[in-house]
């Protein structure tokens, strides 16, 4: 997929390095940076380093902002991932964001999914189901799309890389 980690090395998703979501049409690729982390008593750094969450789980709000390019939507994304680490270690994503297109039109983005740690690294693999909404006539085509996205976050650098495809 061409993703790279904080050191510049290529990131793969397994032995064959394939991405099943890429069989659809590329809607967007984004590379936001985590700009702020809100903690609610548990340490985000500890969770991201692989420590187990407390018995009640752990909640973090990750604020994201960065470029959107490489598909039918181009501009900037800004939003929040209301991340929940369950007691069993599974990380659940709950994202609300806006994409502002290059010509200043807004698209609402809502996504849910999971983040899975890649063994021995600072990388979490992201898998998301995405809904887009816009009331701008020229962007009405996004409203009916079924979108699946896949990517990674390097928790050491806060860099997210994700590609989203209509299926």
- Segment 94-100 long-range contacts (CB within 8 Å, at least 24 positions apart): 95/64, 95/128, 97/64, 99/28, 99/68, 99/73, 99/75, 99/132, 100/75, 100/76
Confidence tier at 90 by pLDDT (50, 70, 90):
confident
- Domains of the chain from N-terminus onward: 3-166 (2.40.160.20)
Cα Dmax for the chain: 48
Residue 149 confidence (pLDDT) above 80 = yes
pLDDT of residue 4: 55
pLDDT of residue 119: 80
pLDDT of residue 89: 80
Residue 93 confidence (pLDDT) above 90 = yes
Residue 16 confidence (pLDDT) above 90 = no
pLDDT of residue 14: 39
Interstrand relation of 10-11 and 25-30 (parallel, antiparallel or unpaired): unpaired
């Amino acid at each position: 997929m061409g993703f790279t980690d904080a050191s510049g090395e290529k990131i793969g998703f397994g032995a064959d390095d394939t991405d099943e979501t890429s069989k659809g049409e590329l809607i967007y690729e984004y590379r936001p940076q985590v700009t702020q982390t809100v903690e609610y008593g548990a340490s985000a750094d500890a969770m991201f380093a692989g420590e187990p969450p407390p018995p009640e789980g752990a909640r973090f709000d990750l604020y994201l902002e960065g470029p959107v390019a490489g598909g039918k939507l181009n501009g900037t994304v800004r939003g929040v991932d209301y991340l929940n680490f369950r007691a069993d270690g599974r990380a659940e994503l709950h994202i609300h964001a806006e994409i502002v297109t290059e010509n200043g039109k807004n698209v609402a983005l809502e996504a849910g999914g999971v983040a899975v740690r890649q063994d021995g690294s600072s990388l979490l693999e992201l898998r998301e189901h995405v809904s887009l909404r816009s009331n701008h006539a020229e962007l009405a085509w996004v409203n009916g799309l079924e979108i699946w996205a896949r990517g990674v976050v390097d928790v050491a650098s806060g860099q997210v890389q994700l590609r989203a495809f209509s299926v």
